[in-house]
Amino acid sequence: MLSNREIENFLRFAKATAVKAGQILRKKIPTRRDIRYKGEVNLVTAADLASEKFIINNIEKEFPKHSLLAEEEVAINRPSELRWIIDPLDGTTNFAHSFPFYCVSIALEYRGRIIIGAIYDPEREELFYASRNHGAFLNGKRIVVTPETRMVRSLLATGFPYDIGTSGEDNLDHFAHFAKAARGIRRPGSAALDLCYVACGRFDGFWELKLSPWDTAAGRLIVEEAGGRVTDFRGGKYSIYDKEIIASNGQIHKQMIKILSKKVGRVPSE
């Protein structure tokens, strides 16, 4: 078992590394359009690669026995119970288009459970973080989810998969159903920050599909430590390796599950 001192050390490291990686992204703003493509629309910038290189080098220096999983096709597997899961730039499309909503996400997995998470937004200089059973924080101040109980008064967030142009599983039907039920929906373009916004009460709920472990690892813990609930679309136990996620304040969670259970197809007028 890990001691509290070890966990605190890991969290300090994650927080400091996330902030420094975010500063690298800010310095890369003049070269933000230095882009290559991983698919027709899925892109990666020089900033992604520079941030990831910095984070990986830091982890390798401080914790050379740990395993590691990163977005840009990096996986280092070692006989360790600890694995770092990182997204060096969540919101790459936003970054490439000068839309100021992106972040760095760093999480640590121990025996299959996320035990710490740190997410840094360099545009607003906001550092969200949490360690299991010790609460969630934003720039040192504890955060909690909203108490909202009614969907009609809720502000939600979501996103769309990169293959929206070719796949029938595109989230558009779910979006239409929620648009008729909630006060509003936002699509900012960074799942990690969306989760943080649920945790600190800026959103009441979030749903998305076809995400990857590095998109949700840190944010999932931050939501739960802020008093929220995270499940799959059916209300079952969520794994960061699942392709469906609901995160909410807990109060509107069953309402979100009900809406997501609606038959996919044309949304009738009401």
Of the candidate ranges 40-49, 57-66, 70-79, 107-116, the one whose mean pLDDT is the lowest: 40-49
CATH topology of 4-142 equal to that of 151-260? no
Judge whether residue 37 has pLDDT over 70: no
For 4-142, CATH gives 3.30.540.10
For residue 210, which of 159, 261, 251, 258 has the smallest C-alpha distance?
Answer: 159
- Predicted confidence at residue 53, as pLDDT, reads 94
- Predicted confidence at residue 81, as pLDDT, reads 97
Higher pLDDT pick, 192 / 30: 192
Instruction: Give the model's confidence band at 131: pLDDT under 50 very low, under 70 low, under 90 confident, else very high.
Output: very high
* Cα–Cα distance measured from residue 170 to residue 208, given in angstroms and rounded to the nearest whole number: 10
> Within 10 A of 83 (CB to CB), how many other CB atoms are there?
22
Instruction: Give the model's confidence band at 270: pLDDT under 50 very low, under 70 low, under 90 confident, else very high.
Output: very low
* Cα–Cα distance measured from residue 176 to residue 67, given in angstroms and rounded to the nearest whole number: 41
Mean pLDDT of 69-96: 91
Domain ranges for the chain, please list them. Answer: 4-142, 151-260
Dihedral in degrees, nearest 10, Cα atoms 13, 14, 15, 17: 80
- Predicted confidence at residue 268, as pLDDT, reads 43
The whole-chain average pLDDT of the chain stands at 92
- Predicted confidence at residue 19, as pLDDT, reads 98
Q: Which two tokens stand for residue 193?
A: 């920050």
- Predicted confidence at residue 263, as pLDDT, reads 72
Instruction: Give the model's confidence band at 165: pLDDT under 50 very low, under 70 low, under 90 confident, else very high.
Output: confident
User: Is 151-260 in CATH node 3.40.50.2300?
Assistant: no
Q: What Rg do the C-alpha atoms of the chain give, in angstroms?
A: 18
Higher pLDDT pick, 225 / 42: 225
φ and ψ at residue 37, rounded to 5 degrees: -115, 140
DSSP letters of 123-166?
A: TTTEEEEEETTS-EEETTEE--------GGG-EEEE---TTTTT
Q: Are 35 and 137 in contact (CB under 8 A)?
A: no
- Predicted confidence at residue 116, as pLDDT, reads 98
List, for residues 83-97, the tens digit of each pLDDT value: 999 999 999 999 999
Instruction: Give the model's confidence band at 106: pLDDT under 50 very low, under 70 low, under 90 confident, else very high.
Output: very high
